[in-house]
Amino acid sequence: MRKFGVIGVGHVGVTVAYTLVTKGIADQLVLIDKNEDKAVAEQLDLEDCQARLDTTTQITIQDYSELADADVLFVTSGNIHALDDNSGNRWAEFEYTREIVKDIAPKISNSGFNGILVDTMNPCDAITQYLQESSGLSRNQCIATGTFLDTARMQRVVAEQFDTNSKNVNGYVLGEHGESQFVAWSTVTINNHPIEQYARERGMELDLDNLEAEIRHGGWAIHSGKGYTSFGIATCAVKLAQSMLSDSQLECPVSSYNEKYDTYLGQPAVVGSDGVEYTNDLKLTDEEEDKLQASADTIKEKFATL
């Protein structure tokens, strides 16, 4: 039986839950939210849709003890309105999410949960490390979507620039899921050709700084238009969960612990049944190494304020 938990059924949490139910990924689903009326409503709405689905998901709510045998737990809580007057600065949520962690971490621990935790809270890297340390889960068990989403945004932006499909673009956005993130352009390819070579062969001018700015602020563009982001981040979270259940050994950038920098940050890792199986060290340019160090320092400096 494939069992999932979702703590926080706001925009992201309910999108995760809807995806799990409608795609037939979850046999059992546990929904938990500080607003019980919201949890009840989402349970009923998801149960209503199942009469028209080919699969069935058993849904329970508001019971931490049900997490004891869950395979994957999504933590999607937060206060999206903290970003409204902060131009998308994810650190604005820190004072809210750290209080959430103080509340839920002991409950997760006491539930007996021993699966893999996928976090989408902001500020992503620092709060995931805090959640890992507070819950007692191992570092490989507690990961976050991190720059998996930012890398998807990079794929979209680059694909639009070159009039191709985003699936033909590969590479990494590394570091913080935030302002100090950066595109490791030395890793970016289009149809397996390095981006600069691909542009040169087509006589196209390439403004990497402009592209990077568009990528970095992609989330804010969405937030400004609809007040939150949900589809991209939920899809990333569910894809990670699926790779864990199938032990597919998916290589992708996630927020996980980096021993060299002693912090969580977005880096390539192989994700399987044990969560982060191992990280995948990249050969970066000296400039990219400096940017990764600076991003790690930013996260650690903020984390120290907890």
- Asked if residue 205 is part of any domain, the answer here is no
- Asked if residue 199 is part of any domain, the answer here is no
The answer to whether 232 is annotated as binding is no
Residue 13 belongs to what domain range?
A: 3-146
Question: What is the C-alpha separation between 258 and 64, in angstroms, rounded?
Answer: 30
Return averaged pLDDT per consecutive 10 residues of the chain, 306 residues in all. Answer: 97 98 98 98 98 98 98 91 60 90 98 98 96 98 98 97 97 96 98 96 93 89 89 98 98 98 98 97 97 97 87
- Asked if residue 285 is part of any domain, the answer here is no
Task: Quote the DSSP letter at residue 29.
Answer: E
Decide: 78 and 96 in contact? Cβ < 8 Å: yes
Nearest C-alpha neighbor of 10 from the set 121, 171, 150: 121
Element (H, E) at 235: helix 231-245
Structure confidence at residue 89 (pLDDT): 65
Overall number of domains in the chain: 1
- Asked if residue 254 is part of any domain, the answer here is no
Structure confidence at residue 88 (pLDDT): 55
Question: What is the C-alpha separation between 287 and 245, in angstroms, rounded?
Answer: 37
The answer to whether 171 is annotated as binding is no
- Asked if residue 102 is part of any domain, the answer here is yes
CB atoms inside a 10 Å sphere around CB 117: 24
Amino acid present at 263: T
Decide: 188 and 154 in contact? Cβ < 8 Å: yes
Structure token digits, residue 130: 């805090």
Structure confidence at residue 92 (pLDDT): 82
**φ, ψ of residue 56 in degrees (nearest 5):** -130, 135
Q: How many helices (H) and strands (E) does the chain have?
A: 10, 12
The answer to whether 10 is annotated as binding is yes
| Strand-by-strand arrangement of the 193-194 sheet | 169-174, 182-190, 193-194
Q: Determine whether 177 is an active site residue.
A: yes
- Asked if residue 32 is part of any domain, the answer here is yes
Question: What is the C-alpha separation between 67 and 30, in angstroms, rounded?
Answer: 7
Structure confidence at residue 59 (pLDDT): 98
Q: What CATH code is carried by the domain that includes residue 113?
A: 3.40.50.720
Structure confidence at residue 49 (pLDDT): 97
Structure confidence at residue 84 (pLDDT): 62
The answer to whether 163 is annotated as binding is no
Structure confidence at residue 55 (pLDDT): 97
Decide: 12 and 121 in contact? Cβ < 8 Å: no
The answer to whether 11 is annotated as binding is yes
Active-site residue among 177, 193, 217, 223? 177
- Asked if residue 250 is part of any domain, the answer here is no
Structure confidence at residue 141 (pLDDT): 98
Structure confidence at residue 87 (pLDDT): 53
Structure confidence at residue 177 (pLDDT): 95
- Asked if residue 158 is part of any domain, the answer here is no
